[in-house]
């Protein structure tokens, strides 16, 4: 039994242990015990994943199934390959960090026995999905993941009504994705005669079936990944979940959708026609742009982060699509780099999204507020949280030297160095993709400057923000660890990329100068450590000069900020999140459909004197408004019509049964 198999077995045992701890630990210690249990599960999962990524391949854990009449079912297998190992590693680390955070954070329903059991089950499901070696295991683990997350989502349902609606949307969309996956897997299983990935990969499925399966599977995985237009559960569910669960969902669970897409295009149905890649590019680019545009105008911090997840997954899928397209047209160099960029984007997103959601959780814990319009001044009161959130925001905006920077760099290198003269399709797709990627970078910058600046800088806008205090040691530890990972991944792109390149069979990737990333095929390199040293070399004399000058003219404290001389300025007059993105709402008013209302309360008996004014701006999710609500209305209208058939008369019902029987007899007798 080699390391990977031992690791898989250990995960199963640890999951059981975590559940036992959750159920039997005394109430005062439950958070600690269950949290440590789940964290251990995550750590072992990460270790197993890294081992699998580095090429250790085991026989896997198998459970033979003998069902009468179903000979085509292969044994249930758990055997992660390199790609599965990579995603397993991501999930493991995210689960561990979220669990440690949860030790300090979980309170109320999510800290109950059900809550921690569900968390353990959720974590196990997420870790089994990339380890699955056949379709049945995959689907079972998928359902475990979905079930666990649904239970966790319901944690605060008694306290808040939006939680119930969000869970309803989430449950419906998750099961929609499950049905699509079942259909898609059904097609490939029927065509290949077996359920294991190797059996399916070995069969070459002919065209209409392959494309049908591709579309079904991609639709299912896109729903889980939160791509447009099936993303609408994301901005509802992620904000309502408890924060450590949001972090796990956003950083790890949606990656399962990405894993599924990669599984389909790289392993199950490789060598597909070109239009598959175009579908991925179009869906990815649309998600990226729509996601960041919506994120930029949100004032609810967690909703902003949820839409940002849609954007990042969109970028990942775009990178996958571009990689496929380029590989298909013979440009393996650029195509490999694009695939590598997709993986780098995935790991970078997992890292910074965890930090950001946990930071939002810390803010919620300290102030009770999620709305950026009511926060402010938190950097002085919660320095650790602010610093960690700042590092996460830096990475989300793809600025040096963080993991996000490395990932975006790789994607742009692939786009820039692809030879666009090869054919017209690539010549059109590449610059449009580049424009979309550039716009999402720019909007991402705005979004995260807004999230960090409005929430943490300036002065507190409400007493809740003014009374904030720093969070406890376990939460701080999780945040700091996450931030260190974000920066660490950004400083060692070379070894990281070399490890990831094997997962997607990418060549031409090398390490230079111990940590730098070199793309040999293009002769370009990225050495963030060297860039940091250069910046340091520039900063040191600058800071020295500044210090020397400061001794002569030290900073003086004064009583007032400059507010045009008046003393009636208050923190409520600062710009808030809604006003920060107002120019953007104007520029993109076609796609953002903001509705504004101004309510004026006038003084009694003096209609020209205003006592109070309230301005509200709401942006709706256009896709939900134009696609889902009409569809839901259509279904309801159909239901109303169908109700006419159900008028309560027993004679009519007997008539229906009789008619059905007659039809069946006619059908059988033909």
Query: Pick from 199, 522, 593, 628: which binds another protein (CB under 8 A)?
Result: 522
Residue whose C-alpha is closest to residue 579's, from 294, 295, 297, 235: 297
In the range 221-240, which residues lie near another protein by CB under 8 A?
Answer: none
Q: Given the complex with another protein, which of 306 and 397 has the nearer CB atom?
A: 397
How far is CA 247 from each of CA 100, 357, 407, 518, 596, rounded to the nearest angstrom?
A: 12, 5, 20, 32, 32
Q: Judge contact between 438 and 408, C-beta under 8 A.
A: no
Whole-angstrom distance, CA of residue 264 vs CA of residue 275: 15
Question: Quick one: 276 or 452, whose CB is closer to another protein?
Answer: 452
Cβ closest to another protein, residue 56 vs residue 466: 466
Region from 114-122, 535-543, 633-641, 662-670 binding another protein, contact rule CB under 8 A: 535-543
- Under the binding rule (CB under 8 A), the answer on residue 551 touching another protein is no
Residue (of 117, 119, 225, 243) closest to 181 by Cα position: 225
Q: What's the Rg (C-alpha) of the chain? A: 27
Tell me whether residue 273 or residue 583 sits nearer to another protein (CB atom).
583
User: Of the candidates 75, 229, 400, 507, which one interacts with another protein according to CB under 8 A?
Assistant: 400
Candidate segments 8-16, 176-184, 228-236, 581-589, binder of another protein by CB under 8 A: 581-589
Q: Which of residues 421-450 bind another protein (CB under 8 A)?
A: 421, 427, 431, 434-435, 437-439, 441-443, 445-446, 449-450
Question: Is 345 an interacting residue with respect to another protein (CB under 8 A)?
Answer: no
Alpha helices in 368-492 (DSSP H): 378-381, 383-396, 403-417, 424-456, 463-466, 473-491
Stretch that binds another protein, among 93-101, 149-157, 257-265, 522-530 (CB under 8 A): 522-530
416 part of the interface to another protein, by CB under 8 A: yes
Residues 369-388 as x/- pattern, contact with another protein by CB under 8 A: --------x-xx--------
Rule CB under 8 A: choose which of 26, 208, 565, 639 binds another protein. Answer: 565
Nearer to another protein, 112 or 617 (CB): 617
Distance in angstroms (rounded) separating the CA atoms of residues 571 and 591: 32
Q: How far apart are the first and last CA of the chain?
A: 58
Q: Does 457 bind another protein (CB under 8 A)?
A: yes
Q: Quickly list DSSP for 154-207.
A: GGGTTT-HHHHHHHHHHHHHHHHHHHHHHHHHHHHHHHHS--BHHHHHHSPPPH
- Applying CB under 8 A, among 67, 560, 608, 666 the residue interacting with another protein is 560
Q: Does 525 bind another protein (CB under 8 A)?
A: yes
* Residue 612 interacts with another protein (CB under 8 A): yes or no: no
Pairing of strands 594-603, 524-526: unpaired
* Residue 477 vs 524, nearer CB to another protein: 524
**Exposure letters 460-491 (e unless 16+ CB within 10 A, then b):** bbbeebeebebbeebbbbbbbbbbebbbebbb
Cβ-count burial 14-26 (b if 16+ within 10 Å, e if not): bbebbbebbeebe
Q: How many CB atoms lie within 10 A of CB 72?
A: 11
- Report, in Å, the least distance between residue 415 CB and another protein: 8
# residues near another protein by CB under 8 A: 87
Instruction: With contacts defined by CB under 8 A, name the span among 64-72, 233-241, 482-490, 567-575 that binds another protein.
Output: 567-575
Shortest Å distance, C-beta 88 to another protein? 30
Q: Does 398 bind another protein (CB under 8 A)?
A: yes
Q: Return phi, psi of residue 646, to 5°.
A: -110, 65
Task: List the interface residues with another protein, window 461-490 (CB under 8 A).
Answer: none
Pairing of strands 509-512, 76-78: unpaired
Of the pair 12, 434, the CB lying nearest another protein is at 434
Binding residue (CB under 8 A) for another protein from 66, 67, 558, 668: 558
Please, which residues bridge with residue 598 across strands? 615
Cα 483 to Cα 43: distance, rounded to the nearest angstrom: 17
Of the candidate residues 155, 200, 454, 499, the single one contacting another protein (CB under 8 A): 454
Is residue 510 a contact residue for another protein (CB under 8 A)? no
**Residue 553 engages another protein in binding (rule: CB under 8 A):** yes
User: Nearer to another protein by C-beta: 159 or 558?
Assistant: 558
Q: How many degrees, rounded to 5, is the angle at CA 618 between CA 617 and CA 623?
A: 150
Interface with another protein, residue 336, by CB under 8 A = no
Residue 399 lies near another protein (rule: CB under 8 A): yes
Torsion of CA 492, 498, 504, 506, to 10 degrees: 120
Nearer to another protein, 398 or 475 (CB): 398
């Amino acid at each position: 039994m080699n390391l990977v198999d031992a690791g898989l077995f250990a995960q199963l045992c640890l999951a059981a242990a975590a559940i036992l701890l959750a159920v039997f630990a005394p109430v005062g210690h439950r958070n600690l015990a269950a949290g440590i249990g789940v964290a251990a599960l995550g750590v072992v999962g990460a270790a197993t994943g890294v081992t699998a990524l580095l090429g250790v391949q085991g026989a896997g854990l198998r459970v033979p199934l003998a069902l009468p009449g179903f000979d085509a079912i292969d044994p249930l297998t758990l055997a992660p390959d390199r790609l599965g190992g990579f995603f397993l590693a991501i999930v493991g680390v995210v689960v561990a960090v979220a669990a440690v955070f949860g030790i300090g954070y979980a309170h109320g329903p999510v800290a109950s026995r059900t809550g921690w059991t569900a968390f353990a089950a959720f974590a196990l499901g997420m870790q089994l999905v990339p380890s699955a070696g056949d379709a049945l295991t995959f689907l079972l683990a998928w359902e475990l993941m979905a079930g666990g997350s649904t239970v966790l989502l319901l944690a605060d349902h008694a306290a808040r009504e939006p939680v119930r609606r969000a869970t309803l949307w989430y449950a419906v969309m998750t099961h929609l994705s499950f049905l699509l996956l079942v259909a898609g897997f059904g097609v490939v299983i029927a065509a290949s005669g077996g359920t294991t990935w190797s059996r399916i990969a070995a069969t070459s499925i002919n065209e209409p079936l392959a494309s049908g399966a591709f579309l079904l599977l991609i639709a299912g995985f896109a729903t889980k990944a939160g791509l447009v237009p099936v993303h609408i559960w994301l901005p509802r569910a992620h904000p309502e979940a408890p924060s450590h669960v949001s972090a796990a969902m956003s950083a790890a669970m949606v990656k399962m959708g990405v894993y599924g897409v990669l599984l389909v295009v790289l392993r199950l149905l490789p060598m597909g026609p070109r239009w598959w890649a175009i579908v991925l590019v179009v869906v990815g680019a649309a998600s990226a742009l729509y996601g960041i545009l919506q994120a930029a105008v949100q004032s609810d911090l967690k909703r902003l982060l949820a839409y940002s997840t849609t954007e990042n997954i969109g970028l990942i899928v775009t990178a996958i699509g571009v990689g496929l397209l380029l590989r298909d047209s013979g440009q393996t160099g650029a195509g490999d780099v694009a695939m590598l960029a997709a993986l780098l984007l995935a790991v970078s997103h997992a890292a910074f999204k965890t930090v950001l959601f946990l930071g939002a959780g810390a803010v919620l814990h300290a102030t009770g507020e999620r709305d950026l319009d009511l926060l402010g001044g938190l950097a002085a009161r919660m320095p650790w949280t602010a610093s960690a959130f700042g590092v996460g925001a830096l990475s989300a905006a793809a600025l040096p030297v963080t993991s996000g920077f490395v990932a975006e760099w790789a994607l742009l290198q692939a786009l820039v160095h692809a030879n666009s003269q090869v054919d017209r399709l690539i010549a059109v797709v590449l610059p449009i993709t580049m424009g979309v990627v550039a716009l999402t970078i720019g909007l991402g910058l705005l979004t995260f400057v807004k999230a960090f600046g409005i929430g943490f800088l300036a002065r507190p806008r409400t007493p809740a923000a003014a009374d904030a205090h720093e969070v406890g040691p376990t939460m701080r530890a999780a945040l700091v660890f996450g931030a260190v990972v974000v920066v660490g991944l950004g400083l060692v792109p070379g070894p990281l990329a070399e490890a990831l390149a094997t997962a997607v069979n990418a060549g031409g990737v090398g390490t230079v100068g111990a940590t730098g990333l070199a793309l040999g095929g293009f002769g370009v390199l990225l050495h963030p450590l060297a860039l940091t040293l250069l910046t340091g070399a520039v900063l040191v004399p600058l800071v020295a000069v500044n210090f020397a000058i400061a001794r002569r003219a030290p900073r003086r404290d004064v009583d007032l900020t400059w507010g045009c001389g008046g003393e009636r300025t208050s923190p409520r007059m600062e710009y808030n999140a809604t006003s920060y993105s107002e120019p953007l709402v104007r520029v993109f008013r076609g796609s953002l459909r903001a509705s504004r209302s101004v309510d004026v309360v006038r003084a009694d008996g003096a209609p020209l004197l205003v006592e109070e004014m309230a301005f509200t701006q709401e942006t709706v999710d256009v896709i939900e408004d134009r696609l889902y609500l009409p569809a839901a209305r259509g279904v309801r209208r159909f239901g109303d019509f169908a109700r006419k058939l159900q008028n309560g008369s027993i004679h009519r019902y007997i008539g229906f049964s009789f008619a059905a029987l007659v039809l069946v007899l006619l059908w059988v007798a033909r």
